[in-house]
C-alpha cells in the first residue's frame, strides 16, 4: 500500500520533470455497474500493453455525461443505457460511428440477506413491512430511470414515493441494502451478484426495453487510436469472458 | 422553483438545529477544557478537533457505522424508541453538528481562557454562586469570541455535503439540502436549477460571513481607536 503510494508519488515527480517516451494515457468513464468488470479488463489490457495506462472513472451515467459535456478529458465512454448516450450524441460529444452495444443486464429487486420479506412482484413493494426502498435518482442514473419506468407502468410510482430513498448511483443502493439501512432496493443482477453474501435477489423486474450498454469514443478524446484499441479489447473473447463472469449477457 | 425554497428551508432547519446543539456542546466542552487540567487533555482536544480536518466522507462513514441499523447504538435506538436516524433530517443534523463542532468549541475554549480569572475571583469573594459567576461574568466576557465561532459553524453546517449525503441520503423535501440539491441538479444537467441554487447559497453564505466578521474579536478596539 505504502509502496504503491510512494511509487505513485515518484511517478508523478518523474512525469512532471521529464518528457516521457511514447506511452499514452487513456481515460475511460464507465457506468457504476461496470466497476468490477472494467477494473479487471483494464488490468488485463495494461498487462497486454504495458506502455499504456488506463484511468477509470466510475459514476452514474448521467453524471459522466455532464462531466464530458463540461469538458472533462475523457476518451472512452460506456453508459448503462441508450438514453444517456443519445443525449450525448445530440450534444455532439461523441464520435458517433464508434458507438456499439457490448453487454446487457437485468433489473432486480434485492433485500438484505437476512430479510424476512417475501417479494414476488412490484406490487409486493407496497407491503407495510417494507418501509424503505432504495432507488437511484431517475434524473441522472439509468438504473433509476428503468426502475421508475417499471413502477410507472404498474401505477406504483406515486404510491411508493414515500418509501423511496434516492441514491446517486447503483452501487450506493447496493451498499444501503447490504448495510440493512433499507428494506429493499433496485439494482442490476450483476451488482446483486457481487454482494451475494449480504443481499438476496427477490425477483427480476420485467422491463419494456432491454438494459443494454453502449460504448463509444468521445469527440474531444486525444488518444483516438488507443481508444479504438481499448474498445476492440472489450469485444475480445477474454474481456467478454470477464463480463459474463460478472453476470453480464451478450447483446 | 418551489423545490429550491424547500431545499433552502431544509438547509436552514438542519443548520439551525446543528448550531443550537453546538452552542450547548461547544460552550460546555470549551469551558471544561479551559478550566480543568488533567492527563490527556491535549489528546482530547485533538480528538474533538478532528472533524475539522478529516474528510467529510470519513465522518460520514463513521456515522453510518456508528448509528446505522446494524450498529449496537443504532439498533438500541431503534428497538427502544423506534428511532432510525439514517435517511432522516435528524440524521443530517447529527452529521452537520459533528462537522461544525470544532468551529464552536475551539474559539470557545480560547475565549474562556482569555477571561481574566481575577474578575471571577472577585465575584467568588463577594459570595456569588459558581453558576451565576459563569452566566453573569465569564460568559458575557467570552461571548464575542464564541459568537464568531457559532456563526462560522452555522455557515459550515449550511454547506455540509459529504457526511450528510452518506448518512441522510438525498430525499427531496426530507433530507435534500441545498448543497445536495446543487449536486443532483448538476448531475442531471439541470443548469438553470443549479444556477439558482448556487446564487442563493452564495448570498446566504456572504450574509453569514459578514455578520461573523462584524462580531469577531478585535473589531471593538478597532472601532474605539
One domain, residues A88 and A167: no
Average pLDDT of the segment spanning B121-130: 91
Return the SS3 of A57.
strand
Residue with cell 459558581: B130
Does residue B189 sit at the A interface (CB-CB below 8 Å)? yes
Give pLDDT tens digits for B198-213.
Answer: 999 899 888 888 887 8
**A-chain residues near B78 (CB < 8 A):** none
In a domain, A163, yes or no: yes
Give residue B225's pLDDT band: very low, low, confident or very high (50, 70, 90). Answer: very low
Which grid cell is A221?
478524446
Which grid cell is B185?
441538479
In a domain, A32, yes or no: yes
Task: Say which DSSP state A249 is in.
Answer: B
Task: Please report, for the domain that includes residue A191, its CATH number.
Answer: 3.40.190.10
One domain, residues A113 and A100: no
Give pLDDT tens digits for B147-193.
Answer: 889 998 998 999 899 999 888 888 888 889 999 999 888 888 888 88
One domain, residues A113 and A199: yes
In a domain, A250, yes or no: no
Nearest CB neighbour to B188, from listed A132, A139, A179: A139
A87 to chain B: nearest residue by CA? Answer: B189
Q: What is the spatial distance between Cα B10 and Cα A6, in angstroms, rounded to a whole number?
A: 44
Which grid cell is A47?
498487462
* A18 has a pLDDT exceeding 60: no
The CATH homologous superfamily to which domain B2-220 belongs is MetI-like (1.10.3720.10)
pTM of the complete model:
0.79
B66 to chain A: nearest residue by CA? Answer: A179
Give chain B's largest Cα–Cα span.
Answer: 67
Which grid cell is B213?
466578521
B-proximal residues of A, 181-220, CB under 8 Å? 181-182
Average pLDDT of the segment spanning A82-93: 94
Sequence ranges of the domains in chain B: 2-220
With residue A103 as reference, give the H or E element that holds it.
Answer: strand A94-105
Structural domain for A171, as ranges: 107-204
CA A236, A241, A245 angle in degrees (round to 5)?
155
Average pLDDT of the segment spanning A179-194: 94
Give residue A10's pLDDT band: very low, low, confident or very high (50, 70, 90). Answer: low
ipTM above 0.85, yes or no: no
**A-chain residues near B184 (CB < 8 A):** 137, 139-140, 168
In a domain, A251, yes or no: no
Q: How far is CA A195 from CA A113, A189, A244, B69, B160, in A?
A: 10, 10, 16, 18, 30
For chain A, first and last CA: distance in Å?
Answer: 38
One domain, residues A54 and A75: yes
Residue B1: the pLDDT is 67
Q: Which residues neighbour A33 within 8 Å (Cβ) at sequence distance 6 or greater?
A: A80, A105, A143, A170, A171, A187, A188, A190, A191
Q: What is the spatial distance between Cα A138 and Cα A167, in angstroms, rounded to a whole number?
A: 9
Q: What is the spatial distance between Cα B175 and Cα B93, in angstroms, rounded to a whole number?
A: 10
Give residue A45's pLDDT band: very low, low, confident or very high (50, 70, 90). Answer: very high
| Contact: A62, B86; criterion CB under 8 Å | no
* B217 has a pLDDT exceeding 60: no
Under a CB-based contact definition with an 8 Å cutoff, are residues B178 and B200 in contact? yes
Q: What is the spatial distance between Cα A73 and Cα B202, in angstroms, rounded to a whole number?
A: 29
**B-chain residues near A180 (CB < 8 A):** 68-70
Domain count, chain A: 2
| Contact: A164, B171; criterion CB under 8 Å | yes
Average pLDDT of the segment spanning B124-151: 90
**A-chain residues near B172 (CB < 8 A):** 166
One domain, residues A6 and A94: yes
B69 to chain A: nearest residue by CA? Answer: A181
Q: What is the spatial distance between Cα B84 and Cα B64, in angstroms, rounded to a whole number?
A: 12
Q: What is the spatial distance between Cα B35 and Cα B109, in angstroms, rounded to a whole number?
A: 9
One domain, residues A238 and A170: no
Q: What is the spatial distance between Cα A76 and Cα A229, in angstroms, rounded to a whole number?
A: 11
* A23 has a pLDDT exceeding 80: no
One domain, residues A130 and A186: yes
Task: Return the percentage of chain B with pLDDT > 70, whole number.
Answer: 95
Q: What is the mean pLDDT of chain A?
A: 90
In a domain, A181, yes or no: yes
* A235 has a pLDDT exceeding 90: yes
How distant is the Cα of A211 from the closest Cα of chain B, in angstroms? 20
Amino acid at each position: 500500500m505504502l509502496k504503491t503510494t510512494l511509487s505513485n508519488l515518484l511517478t508523478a515527480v518523474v512525469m512532471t520533470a521529464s518528457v516521457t517516451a511514447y506511452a499514452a494515457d487513456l481515460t475511460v468513464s464507465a457506468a457504476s455497474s461496470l466497476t468490477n468488470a472494467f477494473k479487471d479488463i483494464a488490468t488485463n489490457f495494461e498487462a497486454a500493453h504495458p506502455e499504456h495506462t488506463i484511468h477509470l472513472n466510475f459514476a452514474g451515467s448521467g453524471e459522466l455525461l455532464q462531466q464530458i459535456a463540461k469538458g472533462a478529458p475523457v476518451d472512452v465512454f460506456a453508459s448503462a443505457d441508450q438514453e444517456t448516450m443519445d443525449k450525448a450524441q445530440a450534444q455532439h460529444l461523441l464520435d458517433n460511428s464508434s458507438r456499439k452495444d457490448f453487454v446487457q443486464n437485468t433489473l432486480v429487486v434485492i433485500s438484505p440477506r437476512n430479510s424476512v420479506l417475501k417479494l414476488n412482484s412490484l406490487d409486493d413493494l407496497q407491503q407495510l413491512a417494507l418501509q424503505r426502498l432504495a432507488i437511484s435518482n431517475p434524473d441522472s442514473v439509468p438504473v433509476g430511470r428503468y426502475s421508475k419506468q417499471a413502477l410507472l407502468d404498474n401505477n406504483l410510482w406515486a404510491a411508493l414515493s414515500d418509501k423511496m430513498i434516492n441514491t446517486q448511483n447503483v452501487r450506493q443502493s447496493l451498499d444501503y441494502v447490504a448495510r440493512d439501512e433499507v428494506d429493499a432496493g433496485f439494482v442490476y443482477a450483476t451488482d446483486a451478484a457481487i454482494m451475494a453474501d449480504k443481499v438476496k435477489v427477490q425477483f427480476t423486474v420485467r422491463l419494456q426495453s432491454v438494459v443494454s450498454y453502449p460504448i463509444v469514443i468521445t469527440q474531444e478524446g486525444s488518444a483516438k487510436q488507443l481508444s479504438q484499441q481499448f474498445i476492440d479489447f472489450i469485444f475480445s473473447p477474454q474481456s467478454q469472458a470477464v463480463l459474463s463472469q460478472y453476470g453480464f449477457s451478450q447483446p | 422553483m418551489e423545490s429550491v425554497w424547500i431545499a433552502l428551508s431544509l438547509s436552514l432547519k438542519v443548520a439551525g438545529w446543528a448550531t443550537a446543539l453546538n452552542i450547548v456542546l461547544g460552550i460546555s466542552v470549551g469551558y471544561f477544557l479551559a478550566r480543568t487540567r488533567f492527563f490527556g487533555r491535549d489528546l482530547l482536544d485533538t480528538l474533538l478537533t478532528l472533524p475539522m480536518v478529516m474528510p467529510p466522507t470519513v465522518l460520514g462513514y463513521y456515522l453510518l457505522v456508528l448509528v446505522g441499523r446494524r450498529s449496537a447504538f443504532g439498533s438500541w435506538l431503534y428497538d427502544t424508541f423506534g428511532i432510525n436516524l439514517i435517511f432522516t433530517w435528524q440524521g443530517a443534523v447529527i452529521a452537520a453538528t459533528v462537522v461544525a463542532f470544532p468551529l464552536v468549541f475551539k474559539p470557545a475554549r480560547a475565549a474562556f481562557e482569555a477571561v481574566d480569572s481575577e474578575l471571577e475571583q472577585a465575584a467568588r469573594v463577594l459570595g456569588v454562586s459558581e453558576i451565576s459567576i459563569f452566566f453573569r461574568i465569564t460568559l458575557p466576557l467570552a461571548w464575542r469570541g464564541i459568537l464568531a465561532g457559532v456563526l462560522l459553524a452555522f455557515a459550515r453546517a449550511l454547506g455540509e455535503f459529504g457526511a450528510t449525503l452518506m448518512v441522510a441520503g438525498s430525499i427531496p423535501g426530507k433530507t435534500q439540502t441545498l448543497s445536495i440539491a446543487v449536486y443532483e441538479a448538476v448531475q442531471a444537467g439541470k443548469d438553470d436549477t443549479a444556477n439558482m441554487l448556487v446564487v442563493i447559497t452564495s448570498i446566504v453564505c456572504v450574509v453569514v460571513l459578514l455578520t461573523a466578521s462584524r462580531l469577531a474579536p478585535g473589531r471593538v478596539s478597532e472601532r474605539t481607536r
